[in-house]
Amino acid sequence: MGGWAFRVDIAPDPESGHRQQRSKQGFRTKADAVAAMGEVIANSEPPRIWPSDPLSVRQVARSWLERKSGECTPSTIAAYRRSVDKICDRFGDVLVGDVTVAMVDDFERDLLEHGAAGGGGLSAKSVNAVHAVFHQIVADAVRRGVARSNVVASARPPRHEDRIVAAWTPDEVRTFLDVVRGHRLYPVFFVALTTGLTRGELVGLRWGDIDLDAGEITVRRIVSMTNGQRTETTPSPSARRTVTIAERTIDILAAHRAGAGGDDDVGRPVFEQRNGGELNPDSLSATFRRLVNNAGVSPIAIGGLRHTHAALLFRGGVGPIVVSARLGHSTVATTQHMYRHLTPPLHDADLAAFEQTLLSGVDS
């Protein structure tokens, strides 16, 4: 049989999920075949049921936040809630389907000018954080069939330059450690510098997480403070890692353990308050700030010890894959982006010899 024909994929079989096709031939013209194919596609599409009573931005935002609560740490949820509050202040009663790109652009521009609690403007980074949450909310609404498109994806949040992470030089590390050597929290700062663990990971350590014979620390929990409440959460798969430690760190921890009461303590926190009991992360940060000031070194937050660990690894020639694994980043790209100013240029001292071998006998 001659003439024009078509074959087209349609929606998968709803029972098996298998691919389905429709085909037909014998059309006199191409236009006839295209028209018939369009009709098949239209009749084969699964029905899209849009709500008869569209939801407001407040409804979809609160629903999204509630479902996120079971997936994220309390501190992350607190940050999300701050963004959701700003979004709902502006769009709360607006139907999600009525939000336009222009409305989102105006909203984010206003946040830059007077979006802070005191009436001042938010930083570009903070506005981008609100934008990211708004984007997730509407994308989720599209996925669930309560919005037709994600207009936030087409909005243009303000550009911002990433902050360069602050880290100490080797001389500053030595100065600080010399000044605080006799302090009861000296082991915390020493371990932070030699492992790259976060404040929450350090506070969450139990002696059962440390194998001094093998020279390993396993991160199993993260402690944080949210609205004055201490919370303990399980790290993400990438953050739940085992970090190797070297001889001096092992000696520091062994001495610290002996002073804390011996070996029968696997469930006890590694770092405690002066009179025993769980260490408060905020108190640890406050003590660190005071000691930094006393030492006369560059002012950094306690998280700067983690950055210093990464910086010294890079300067020592350790590759980004190893650094990323030690820090518990989800991807190497995250590490490279954060510490790109510390990554040495792609250079090899033997490049001239390599080129000589590769191009031997080739005329220039």
Please choose, from the candidates 75, 70, 290, the residue with its C-alpha nearest in 3D space to the C-alpha of residue 179.
290
Listed residue (279, 127, 142) closest to 200, CA to CA: 279
Within-domain flag for 261: yes
| 144 is a domain residue | yes
pLDDT exceeds 90 at position 326: yes
- Residue 240 is part of a domain; what is its CATH number? 1.10.443.10
Does the pLDDT value for residue 343 go beyond 80? no
Q: Which domain holds residue 188?
A: 170-338
pLDDT band at 260 (very low <50, low <70, confident <90, very high): confident
191 with 305, same domain: the answer is yes
Please identify, among 154, 189, 218, the residue that sits at the C-terminal boundary of a domain. 154
Looking at the structure, tell me whether residues 124 and 89 fall in a common domain.
yes
Q: How many structural domains is the chain composed of? A: 3
Indicate whether 297 belongs to any domain. Answer: yes
For residues 110 and 220, membership in a common domain is answered with no
Q: What is the mean pLDDT of residues 285-295?
A: 96
Q: What confidence tier does 52 reach under pLDDT thresholds 50, 70, 90?
A: very low
According to the model, what pLDDT value does residue 185 have?
Answer: 96
In a domain, 364, yes or no: no
Residues 39, 61, single domain; the answer is: no
144 plus 271 within the same structural domain: no
pLDDT for 145-184, tens place per residue? 888 889 999 998 888 766 677 899 999 999 999 999 999 9
235 with 96, same domain: the answer is no
Higher confidence at residue 18 or residue 320?
Answer: 320
Residue 264 has pLDDT above 70, yes or no: no
Query: Domain boundary residue among 97, 125, 154?
Result: 154
Mean pLDDT calculated for residue range 135-146: 89
Mean pLDDT of 220-243: 87
Q: What is the pTM of this model?
A: 0.66
Instruction: Tell me if 233 is assigned to some domain.
Output: yes
pLDDT at 341: 74
- CB of 127 within 8 A of CB of 115? yes
Residues 6 or more apart from 332 whose CB is under 8 A from it?
320, 321, 324
pLDDT value at residue 28: 78
| Residues 185 and 330 both lie in one domain | yes
Are 73 and 130 in the same domain? yes
**Pair (284, 331) in one structural domain:** yes
With a cut of 60, say whether residue 14 has pLDDT above it: no
> Lowest-pLDDT range, 106-115, 258-267, 331-340, 348-357?
348-357
Q: What was the pLDDT predicted at 12?
A: 67
Classify residue 281: in a domain, yes or no.
yes
Tell whether the model's pLDDT for residue 21 goes beyond 70.
Answer: yes
The answer on 81 and 29 residing in a single domain is: no
Asked whether 242 and 217 are in contact (CB, 8 A), the reply is yes
Q: Same structural domain for residues 14 and 95?
A: no
* Residue 347: predicted pLDDT: 54
Q: Is residue 165 a part of any domain in this protein?
A: no
* Of 187 and 224, more confident: 187
- The residue among 237, 332, 272 whose CA lies nearest residue 219 is 237
The whole-number average pLDDT for the span 219-226 is 89
User: What is the Cα–Cα distance from 141 to 150, expressed in whole angstroms?
Assistant: 8
Residue 312 sits in the same domain as residue 197: yes
pLDDT in the model for residue 53:
47
> In DSSP terms, which residues pair with 8 in a beta bridge?
22
Instruction: Show Cβ contacts of residue 15 under 8 Å, excluding neighbours closer than 6 positions.
Output: none
pLDDT band at 315 (very low <50, low <70, confident <90, very high): confident
Q: Is residue 138 part of a domain?
A: yes
